[in-house]
Amino acid sequence: MFGGTLHNKVVFHAMKALHSFGFPVLRFNFRGTGLSHGKHDKGIGEVDDVHAALDWMDHEFHLPLILVGFSFGAAVGLRAACPDSRVEAVAGLGLPVVAPDRDYSFDFLQLCPKPKLFLSGGFDQYSPTRQLKALVETLPEPKRLVTIDGADHFFEGRLPQMREALEAWLREMLAK
């Protein structure tokens, strides 16, 4: 609805970060986006899209999975991935904790014991530092909140720092 696509620069840089560790990566458009079939379902059916993507990744690679989602993709991706035993860790980039015309609930994160990364720009209008920090403080460990100073929702001009922060978290995860 708001122009999200698998070709977004944030999604591309997240993919490059995961590839740098040798992870296979699946980027996809949600229903009704780009050339994909279907119609936007306000985050309900899109959770099913994430389940289908996780099923495909598991079938193709038989590896532990890491979910990284951006904005709307983070909101619905984390909802699908947290209860999925195949997913080892989750990362929400620009998680929209403040989104006009959307009523996201992140209560499910209270039951998510997996390693969690929340990565946001210091000037992200949909993921303001104060509100995101308040949410993250209530969540179980392990968790990490990283704010990129000077970055907006799309990490404009700060994509290398966003990628470095994601890579640092992945490096730490792999060391454990």
* Residue range 6-24: mean pLDDT, rounded: 90
In this predicted structure, what is the pLDDT of residue 162?
98
pTM for this prediction: 0.91
Tokens of 22: 């040798």
DSSP state of 30: P
Digit-coded pLDDT (tens) for 59-101 = 999 999 999 999 989 999 999 999 999 999 999 999 999 977 7
- Which domains does the chain possess? 9-175 (3.40.50.1820)
Give the Cα separation of 25 and 18 in Å (integer): 7
